[in-house]
Amino acid sequence: MSRNKSPVLAVDLGGTKIVAALVSAQGDIIQREYRLSLAKEGPEPVINRLLAMIGCILDKAKIKISQLMGVGIATAGILDARRGLVTASPNLPGWHDIPLRDIVKSKLGVSVYLINDASAAALGEHRYGAGRDVDNLIYLTVSTGIGGGIIIGGELYSGVDGCAGEIGHMTIETDGPQCSCSNFGCLEALASGTAVANEAISRVSRGEKSSLTEISGGRFENITAEIVGVAAWDGDPMACEIVAKAANYLGIGMANLVNIFNPEKIVIGGGMAHMGDMLLEPARRVVRERAFQLPAGRVNIVPAQLGDDAGVIGAAAFVFEKQSC
Amino acid sequence: MSRNKSPVLAVDLGGTKIVAALVSAQGDIIQREYRLSLAKEGPEPVINRLLAMIGCILDKAKIKISQLMGVGIATAGILDARRGLVTASPNLPGWHDIPLRDIVKSKLGVSVYLINDASAAALGEHRYGAGRDVDNLIYLTVSTGIGGGIIIGGELYSGVDGCAGEIGHMTIETDGPQCSCSNFGCLEALASGTAVANEAISRVSRGEKSSLTEISGGRFENITAEIVGVAAWDGDPMACEIVAKAANYLGIGMANLVNIFNPEKIVIGGGMAHMGDMLLEPARRVVRERAFQLPAGRVNIVPAQLGDDAGVIGAAAFVFEKQSC
């Protein structure tokens, strides 16, 4: 296997699950593993789990670490790219200034690159997914939280410390609800899957009528954004209202991005994107109402194409491009 | 005069005044003219005034149009850079799809470039002012309105149609007051000079006690943001409260930019910047409270250095760089 054809081992480390994959230079997944993160156990067990998954993939694919181009790790949180630290991560409890890059590098003896998970997904969608045809795009992942990635002139824009793109933590409601980042009225606190689930739980708990009471068997804490989406799809008025409210906030956030970036595309990934046009069509309408006509008319707001693989594919693309510099 | 040393004739066309200047390749102003825009008269008289100013400067400097590198026009509003149009401008009444570039080009027979006024000021501050030492900066002009300019990797980021950077029209209060752009709760509607003046006028008109009543001689409509700033400086409690409120909103807007761009600097220009640390210090505190620690600790929030000349100097820099491509 020649050096320039070597695959990358890419990991997407999230608050809920870890995905690891062997990715070819063409962006194809050769081998893939999923595990629960069990993030509550703290950094060390999670890192050991991640290392074990890498070992497992190498075994299955019958290749050695030395045959890899490198390892790319997409991680939720605020990364200090230059020092290879996970400085903080709302969805990874206990992760404060964890030198993840150097820990993994010292265990494996191979080049390791860290990238924010939404930035990785942005890169993946740009190189191999819904953004292949444009040079300027904003990627938003709307799931438990809201992450973002910015592609400018065909390149990932990371800012001076590598932590740009925290679009979910843009305040759009000054005195809005508190966010997991401790700020108030962030887009994430208003339009994420967590926000949708929390509002549904709070409203059925207060006794509002909704099919969600029955669907959840009275165990309101089990209500998720996905369940709210299904109920809305079936016409439940309360669920429809909650989805419409999230779509309105998502539209406001995107109108801001349209006025600031004048992008060609906004690509929407994450679990909430599975709601499709029920979420995206009212959000597009808000963009047309609130943003300036020229950039609002220009932008295409489209669903992502790579699904759960965007993070690993993007992390792999990041390594291929770093190594070819 | 050799071709590569030719000066640029730069114009900054705003809602209140027009500045025209002959600018050297070193960014020095050789000759300068000011006129009121009298924008209410509509596009044609304003364009004729602008052409007359250019003629006047060439006469005074004793140079011919053919000796210019080109003409750069910084204009308030949403420009379609590719087609050379001013598509809309809240502060230039009647300007809808005005082909300003081609009108001026056909009159003068020289290359003409249009650039948004805040983008020009951003470029000017980056090349010759407060942003000389960094590669990634956001420029904000806080005056009648709030404009923005984005410098990424040392270059002006303009978006796909050339109308990026409308940071003043980022919603930070979903149901906030209506803005001149017709959207609601924009940063401009909450933290601009107009917002400050309007709130002061509305509060003294309702009979609230303030030194502004005396300063304005009871003619409340004459109260400007500058006057509110002076009253706040003198300790007037109502004026202090209004400035603090604007600073809070400005801080929220900047916290959003810090989370999105992870920039090295934010440079603040425009009339409101003359309030200095009375406005900027509380705004910096809000950034530290609301944005993520890593990018908030990184960013320097500083006043602009070029004052009213930023627009013409930046428009000239834009032409020099376009012509040398």
Same-domain pairing of B229 and B151: yes
Is A164 within 8 Å of chain B by CB? yes
Same-domain pairing of B201 and B222: yes
What is the predicted pLDDT for the residue at B4? 55
**Domain assignment of residue A91, yes or no:** yes
Same-domain pairing of B152 and B280: yes
Same-domain pairing of B240 and B168: yes
Cα–Cα dist A124/A144, whole Å: 20
- Cβ neighbours of B289 in A, within 8 Å: 183
**Domain assignment of residue A13, yes or no:** yes
In the numeric block, which tokens belong to residue A68? 């890899």
Active-site residue, from B12, B117, B236, B309: B117
Same-domain pairing of B221 and B318: no
**Domain assignment of residue A236, yes or no:** yes
Domain span at residue A216 reads 130-304
Same-domain pairing of A292 and A314: no
Closest CA to A305 of A318, A296, A315, A314: A314
Q: Is B172 in contact with A174 (Cβ distance < 8 A)?
A: yes
For B87, nearest residue in chain A (alpha carbons): A294
Cross-chain CB nearest to A172 (options B135, B163, B174): B174
| Segment 23-42 of chain B within 8 Å of chain A by CB | none
For A170, nearest residue in chain B (alpha carbons): B256
Tens digit of pLDDT per residue, chain A (325 long)? 444 579 999 999 988 889 999 999 999 999 999 999 999 999 999 999 999 999 999 999 999 999 999 999 999 888 998 899 999 887 899 999 999 999 999 999 999 999 999 999 999 999 999 999 999 999 999 998 999 999 999 999 999 998 999 999 999 999 999 998 999 999 999 999 999 999 999 999 999 999 999 999 989 999 999 999 999 999 999 999 999 999 999 999 999 999 999 999 999 999 999 999 999 999 999 999 999 999 999 999 999 999 989 999 999 999 999 887 6
**Domain assignment of residue A36, yes or no:** yes
Is B95 within 8 Å of chain A by CB? no
Is B15 within 8 Å of chain A by CB? no
Is B90 within 8 Å of chain A by CB? no
Give pLDDT tens digits for B60-101. 999 999 999 999 999 988 899 889 999 988 789 999 999 999
Selected residue of B79, B134, B174, B264 to mutate for chain A interface (largest A Cβ count, 10 A): B174
Q: Is B293 in contact with A78 (Cβ distance < 8 A)?
A: yes
From B183's Cα to the closest Cα of chain A, the distance in A is 5
The answer to whether the CB of B16 falls within 8 A of the CB of B270 is no
Same-domain pairing of B242 and B297: yes
ipTM for this prediction: 0.93
Same-domain pairing of A194 and A297: yes
- Cβ neighbours of B171 in A, within 8 Å: 172, 252, 255-256, 290
Is A111 within 8 Å of chain B by CB? no
Size of interface A-B (CB pairs under 8 A): 143
3-state secondary structure of B61: helix
Same-domain pairing of A144 and A186: yes
Q: Is A78 in contact with B290 (Cβ distance < 8 A)?
A: no
Tell me how many domains chain A contains: 2
| CATH code at position A223 | 3.30.420.40
What is the predicted pLDDT for the residue at A2? 43
**Domain assignment of residue A122, yes or no:** no
What is the predicted pLDDT for the residue at B3? 44
Q: Is B298 in contact with A160 (Cβ distance < 8 A)?
A: yes
| Segment 279-318 of chain A within 8 Å of chain B by CB | 289-295, 298
Same-domain pairing of B201 and B177: yes
Tens digit of pLDDT per residue, chain B (325 long)? 444 579 999 999 988 889 999 999 999 999 999 999 999 999 999 999 999 999 999 999 999 999 999 999 999 888 998 899 999 887 899 999 999 999 999 999 999 999 999 999 999 999 999 999 999 999 999 998 999 999 999 999 999 998 999 999 999 999 999 998 999 999 999 999 999 999 999 999 999 999 999 999 989 999 999 999 999 999 999 999 999 999 999 999 999 999 999 999 999 999 999 999 999 999 999 999 999 999 999 999 999 999 989 999 999 999 999 887 6
Cross-chain CB nearest to A294 (options B148, B161, B261): B161
- Residue B133: active-site member: no
Q: Is A249 in contact with B164 (Cβ distance < 8 A)?
A: no
**Domain assignment of residue A279, yes or no:** yes
B137-142 vs A146-152, strand pairing mode: unpaired
pTM (two decimals):
0.93
Same-domain pairing of B111 and B139: no
Give pLDDT tens digits for B293-306. 999 999 999 999 99
HEC string for chain A: CCHHHCCEEEEEECCCEEEEEEECCCCCEEEEEEEECCHHHCHHHHHHHHHHHHHHHHHHHCCCHHHCCEEEEEECCEEECCCCEEEECCCCCCCCCECHHHHHHHHHCCCEEEEEHHHHHHHHHHHHCCCCCCCCEEEEEECCCEEEEEEECCEEECCCCCCCCCHHHCECECCCCECCCCCECEHHHHHCHHHHHHHHHHHHHCCCCCHHHHHCCCCHHHCCHHHHHHHHHCCCHHHHHHHHHHHHHHHHHHHHHHHHHCCCEEEEECHHHHHCHHHHHHHHHHHHHHCCHHHHHHCEEEECCCHHHHHHHHHHHHHHHHHCC
What is the predicted pLDDT for the residue at B193? 95
What is the predicted pLDDT for the residue at A76? 87
In the numeric block, which tokens belong to residue B155? 């270059």
Same-domain pairing of A197 and A224: yes
For A86, nearest residue in chain B (alpha carbons): B294
Is B180 within 8 Å of chain A by CB? no
